Amino acid sequence: MASSKRASSMRLLLPSLPSELIEEILYRTPADSLIRFKSTCKEWYDLITNNKRFIYNHLSHSPERFIRIENYQTVQIMDPVKIIQSDLPIPDEFRVPYPIIFMVHCDGLMLCKCDDWRARGRSKDGGLAVWNPVMRKIKWIEPSYCYRKTDYFGFGYKNSCRDNYKILRFPGPLCDRDPECEIYEFKSDSWRSLNAKFDWEVDMECRGVSVKGNMYWLAEKKEDFILSFDFSNETFNDICVCPRPCELRRLGCFNGDRLSLLQQNDEEETINEIEVWMTNKLSDDGVVSFTKYFNVNTPDLPDLLYHTDMARPGYSIGKYRNIMAWCEQDVRKDDKWYTCNTLYDIDESGIRREKETGGRRFDDHEYYYLFICSYVYVPSLVSCS
């Protein structure tokens, strides 16, 4: 009822304003609110639902959020600035025995690799879906033959045709067959083979990050480097060497056009020291390279990147040399172990803020099955169909 009254009030107030100004106001309105405003009038419905220019301009104004799946039952979305969390039931399609095991984000769409607990012990299992949490829409991607446990996936688009999203599938290092690589296109709704040379191995704990339509992974050949896949040319590229590797590291995006690398030492003499590295703009002509952005070496830093070797957090690098990270950690209370979800804001001086956002008894937790426990996510109106 309250949302209908707000929509009616806006309908009465806005017709007297120029259309350009109305759009500027709507650009700054959260995507989940705009979904409710679609019924305000026919013009707004068309603008919010079908106008690609408006949809992508709105996306460029949309602030980053964190998204995580709690205990295979709840979708949790966190505003890292205001530290406000919203919880929604997970779609029925993603409930056990068919849970999400990892995701890749692109333009507010989540590419979801799902397991199939009924197929445990087989080399072929699971499914693939594209999900827009704001629109609450899911598009299942049928395989050309099957998906495998060892598959890697990329998600992006051709620069000249942004709304024709593409999915890349290629095998991981444990594959027992000859390497095979495929591309799926939304518009044709079909897979096709892609010839590619595989003389490297992707870091098994790095599920990759999509930046400006291309995919990036941590990989290894003779040395550690950043492997990219260009969806416009449909080619793999070695774009730059990584900094001296730490055992614990995560690749991310900074400011929409650069890569960030978060590393945390686990050596006894530098326990928990955090390093943040940054590339130049990926769109720049010339060589891409990393430079150290800042590091933190203060007492009592949390283990951001280490939890059972698997449940790595989502993180975001701020403009003021700070890190926002949403983590799972084990804590002991009253002689019992619990897994707690904590949001950290850390800068060069150490922990600025921390807030426990939930948790549960350790023996009820199946975190060991998650590769990443939270993801950076940008709410959007982009269609997944």
Q: What is the DSSP string of 321-349?
A: SEEEEEEEEEEEETTEEEEEEEEEEEETT
pLDDT value of residue 148:
83
Cα→Cα distances 363→39, 125, 360, Å: 46, 27, 9
Q: Using CA atoms of 152, 134, 78, 361 in order, give the dihedral in degrees to the nearest 10.
A: -70
pLDDT value of residue 365:
46
pLDDT in tens, 75-101: 999 999 889 999 999 999 998 778 888
Q: Taking a C-beta distance cutoff of 8 angstroms, is the pair 191, 146 a contact?
A: no
pLDDT value of residue 328:
80
pLDDT value of residue 54:
95
pLDDT value of residue 306:
58
pLDDT in tens, 239-287: 999 998 776 788 999 999 999 999 987 665 556 789 999 999 997 677 8
Q: Which domains does the chain have, with CATH numbers?
A: 2-53 (no CATH), 62-377 (2.120.10.80)
pLDDT value of residue 178:
62
Mean pLDDT by 10 residues, the chain (385 residues): 55 67 90 87 89 95 92 89 92 86 94 77 70 95 86 92 93 66 95 88 84 94 92 94 82 93 73 88 84 90 66 83 86 76 92 86 51 86 91
pLDDT value of residue 150:
81
**Bridge partner residues of 340 (DSSP):** 329, 359
Euclidean distance between CA atoms 307 and 218, whole angstroms: 19
The pTM of this model reads 0.88
